[in-house]
Structures are given as C-alpha cells and as structure tokens.
Amino acid sequence: MSRKLMLFVLTIALAFSTLSLRPTPTAAQNADSNTAFANLFPADTVVYGNIHTTDLQKTVDTFTALLDQLVGIKLTKPYQQVDASLTQFFGRDASVEKDILPWLGDNVAFGYILSDDDMKTLLSDPKSSNSPANQKGVVVIAVKDQAAGDAFLKELLAALNKQATGLLSSDGQQVTLNGDSVTLYAGATFEILQAKGYYAIGTTKGSRKW
C-alpha cells in the first residue's frame, strides 16, 4: 500500500514545475503569485512553498535528474512509467494527460507546520512514534475543472479504500475552513479536504487550522 501511495505522489510531482520556498506563509502574504493558498496555512507553518504547474517538461527534467543524483534511480521514460503506475493503481487504462492535467490548476502549495509545543516534543524525544515530525505535512492542489477533479477524487477514494479498507472515511463530513464549507475525508493517519477550487491532502493534524 505504501509503495502505491508513493507512486501516486510521484505522479503528482511530475505535473509540477517552478518551485518557490518561503519561510512562512504569513511572511509571503503580499509577495507574488507564489503565495497561492497561503491563507489556508496557520501562523506556525515553518516552511511554505508553492509550485507552478505551467512548465511540465521542466518539472520532469528536474525531478528525474534529482532521482538519479540522490538515489540512483534512472527514469528513462518517466511519462510511460508514471502512466503505468496510475493504470496499475486504478485497475484501468490511466494517464497523467487524461486523468490529472484536465483538472489540475496553476498552483500547488505545501507547508510544514510545527508549533512551539511540537518543537519541544520533537527535541525531547525525536525518535518517538508520537513525534510531530511525521504529523504536520500539508499539500494544497488548485483545481481548474471542479467536475473533472471531483470525479477523479471520487475514483481515487474508492481505489484507496479497495486496497486498504477503512483507510479513509467513505462518506465525507462537512466542516468549515476560513468561513467556507468543505468536505472532509478523514483517516487515522491522513485526510483529504475537498473544496471549491482546491483539494488539501495532509497528515491527520496538519491539513486544517485548529
């Protein structure tokens, strides 16, 4: 299961391009378009970044070069390999071009949230299973075609639960974020928020302000 999830995350990564890092979303609020979705992250976000999806080839080249340099993995045909992974995951003929790019918006933001209490816990016992180091990651993905994105998300949730029953709640619950009603699919270790114009994927304590 973890391998298939990793392959799905790598698939999403291949659709991204220019990466811009900011120390916190608050510091970046009025900077430029790289602050997309910054208002969704709390003030104790210690790392905030935004990825533009407008240059797919640059992303592919950068990503494959990093894989080769860092872990020695050579992706000679990344598109075909990613499409094959998607096809295996969904159990049908699937591809980035057909299933992801039609709804993927211009920005993908991510953040790492670490409060003062989290920092104390991390410093006191960094190897603990309760360490916040693995509990605060968030990714927010812009959606330009809501109907296509929602259909993909519905199929994704079904595929995840088919491979690991109960991984996420099959029925979403309505919650409020920044005054807007959004749908939450919660699980023991991570959750997905479905909203108009974006999706948020985060580890259980990271994808919402509370």
User: pLDDT tens for residues 70-127?
Assistant: 777 777 777 788 899 999 999 999 998 899 999 999 888 888 887 777 777 777 776 6
pLDDT value of position 1 = 46
Share of the chain above pLDDT 70, in %: 71
pLDDT value of position 32 = 47
Q: Work out the angle at residue 111's Cα, subtended by the Cα atoms of residues 106 and 116, and round it to the nearest 5 degrees.
A: 160
pLDDT digits (tens, 9 = 90+) for 119-172: 777 777 766 555 555 557 889 999 999 999 999 999 999 888 887 766 777 678
Average pLDDT over residues 176-191: 83
pLDDT digits (tens, 9 = 90+) for 30-45: 334 556 688 888 778 8
Tell me if the pTM is above 0.85: no
190, two tokens: 């991570």
Report which of residues 175 and 25 the model is more confident about. 175
pLDDT value of position 40 = 82
pLDDT value of position 19 = 43
In the block, which residue shows the tokens 């602050």? 35
